[in-house]
Structure 1
Amino acid sequence: MPENTILKNNYHSITGLKAVDFFCSGGGMSYGLQNSGIEIIAGIDFDKNCEQTYKANIKTAEFILADVFDLKESDLETKLSLKKNDDNLVLIGCSPCQFWSIINTDKKKSKDTKNLLKEFRRFVEYFTPGYVVVENVPGVLTKKRESGLSGLINWLKKNKYKVHYDVHEVSEYGVPQHRKRFTLIANRITKKKIAPIKSEKRLTVRDVIGLANGFPNVNPGNKDQSDFMHTVAGLEDINKKRLLLTDKNGGTRIAYADIEELAPKCHKNDSINFKDTYGRMWWDRPSPTITTKFFSISNGRFAHPEEDRAISLREGAVLQSFPKNYIFKTTSIANTARMIGNAVPPKYAESIGNAIVQNHRNGAV
Structure 2
Amino acid sequence: MQPAPASISAVDLFCGAGGLSQGLQDAGISVVGGVDIEASCAYAFESNIDAPFIERDVRELTAEHLEPLWIPGSIRMLAGCAPCQPFSPYRRGVDTSGEEQWPLLREFARLVRDINPELVTMENVPRIGTSAVFLEFVRDLEELGYFVDWKSCYGPRFGLPQHRRRLVLLASRLGPVEVPDGALDESSYRTVRDVIGSLPKLASGETDPVDPLHVARNLSPLNLRRIAASLPGGTWQDWPEELLSPCHRKSSGSSFKNVYARMEWDKPSPTITTLSGNFGAGRFGHPEQDRSITLREAALLQGFPPGYKLVRRDTRVNQTQVARLIGNAVPPPIAAEVGRAAVAHVAAFDRVE
Say yes or no: TM over 0.5.
yes
Distance 1:82 1:126, change over 3 A: farther
Contact 1:281 1:302 in 2 (8 A): yes
Higher mean displacement: 224-233 or 276-285: 224-233
Instruction: Report the AA paired with residue 80 of structure 1.
Output: L
Query: Which of the numbers 223, 248, 265 marks the counterpart of 1:267?
Result: 248
Q: Which residue of 2 aligns with 1:253?
A: 236
SS at match of 2:106: helix
Is 2:114 the counterpart of 1:126? yes
Cα offset, 1:251, TM superposition: 2.6
Cα offset, 1:80, TM superposition: 2.5
TM-score under structure 1 length normalisation: 0.87
Q: Take 1:361 and 1:81, find their aligned partners in 2: how far apart are those partners?
A: 19
Is 2:310 the counterpart of 1:325? no
**Cα displacement string for residues 20-44 of structure 1 (whole angstroms, at most 9, x for unaligned residues):** 0000010000011001000001100
Distance 1:27 1:102, change over 3 A: same
**Cα displacement string for residues 197-225 of structure 1 (whole angstroms, at most 9, x for unaligned residues):** 51333111111111xx3x11100111246
Q: Take 1:179 and 1:122, find their aligned partners in 2: how far apart are those partners?
A: 29
Within-5 A mapping of 1:256-295: 256=239, 258-259=240-241, 261-268=242-249, 273-295=255-277
Distance 1:110 1:58, change over 3 A: farther
Is 2:12 the counterpart of 1:24? no
Distance 1:349 1:268, change over 3 A: same
SS at match of 2:137: helix
SS at match of 1:171: helix
Is 2:346 the counterpart of 1:360? yes
Contact 1:87 1:130 in 2 (8 A): no
Cα offset, 1:296, TM superposition: 0.8
Instruction: Report the AA paired with residue 196 of structure 2.
Output: I
Q: Take 2:227 and 2:23, find their aligned partners in 1: how far apart are those partners?
A: 35
Q: Which residue of 2 aligns with 1:350?
A: 336
Higher mean displacement: 108-117 or 226-235: 108-117
**Cα displacement string for residues 229-279 of structure 1 (whole angstroms, at most 9, x for unaligned residues):** 2111110000111111112x32321111x51x3101101276951111111
Q: Which residue of 2 aligns with 1:5?
A: none
Q: Take 1:348 and 1:75, find their aligned partners in 2: how far apart are those partners?
A: 28
Q: Take 2:19 and 2:98, find their aligned partners in 1: how far apart are those partners?
A: 21
Instruction: Report the AA paired with residue 264 of structure 2.
Output: W
Cα offset, 1:51, TM superposition: 0.4
Q: Take 1:65 and 1:254, find their aligned partners in 2: how far apart are those partners?
A: 46
Q: Which residue of 1 aligns with 2:159?
A: 174
Query: Which of the numbers 199, 221, 230 marks the counterpart of 2:183?
Result: 199
Higher mean displacement: 117-126 or 99-108: 99-108
Q: Which residue of 2 aligns with 1:91?
A: 78
Cα offset, 1:104, TM superposition: 2.4
Q: Structure 1: 5+ residue runs without aligned partners?
A: 1-11
Cα offset, 1:142, TM superposition: 2.0
**Cα displacement string for residues 28-65 of structure 1 (whole angstroms, at most 9, x for unaligned residues):** 00011001000001100111111011111001x21111
SS at match of 1:69: helix
**Cα displacement string for residues 45-100 of structure 1 (whole angstroms, at most 9, x for unaligned residues):** 111111011111001x21111111112223332x43678xx870000121111112
Query: Which of the numbers 50, 57, 65 marks the counterpart of 1:67?
Result: 57
Q: Percent identity?
A: 37
Contact 1:197 1:355 in 2 (8 A): no
Q: Take 1:199 and 1:352, find their aligned partners in 2: how far apart are those partners?
A: 12
TM superposition outliers: structure 1 runs of 4+ over 4 Å: 105-110, 225-228, 269-272
Contact 2:205 2:215 in 1 (8 A): yes
Contact 1:197 1:354 in 2 (8 A): no
Contact 2:200 2:208 in 1 (8 A): no
TM-score under structure 2 length normalisation: 0.90
Cα offset, 1:358, TM superposition: 0.9
Q: Take 2:71 and 2:7, find their aligned partners in 1: how far apart are those partners?
A: 14
Instruction: Report the AA paired with residue 253 of structure 1.
Output: W
Cα offset, 1:315, TM superposition: 0.6
Instruction: Report the AA paired with residue 326 of structure 1.
Output: Y
Is 2:107 the counterpart of 1:103? no
Query: Which of the numbers 144, 150, 172 marks the counterpart of 1:165?
Result: 150
The number of equivalent residue pairs is: 340
Contact 2:148 2:172 in 1 (8 A): yes
Query: Which of the numbers 30, 36, 41 marks the counterpart of 1:45?
Result: 36
Q: Which residue of 2 aligns with 1:4?
A: none
Q: Take 1:309 and 1:69, find their aligned partners in 2: how far apart are those partners?
A: 41
Q: Take 1:43 and 1:226, find their aligned partners in 2: how far apart are those partners?
A: 29
Aligned CA-pair RMSD: 2.2
**Cα displacement string for residues 107-148 of structure 1 (whole angstroms, at most 9, x for unaligned residues):** 7799222211100111101121111111111222121x1x2x
Q: Structure 2: 5+ residue runs without aligned partners?
A: none
Distance 1:125 1:17, change over 3 A: same
Contact 1:176 1:287 in 2 (8 A): yes
Instruction: Report the AA paired with residue 66 of structure 2.
Output: L
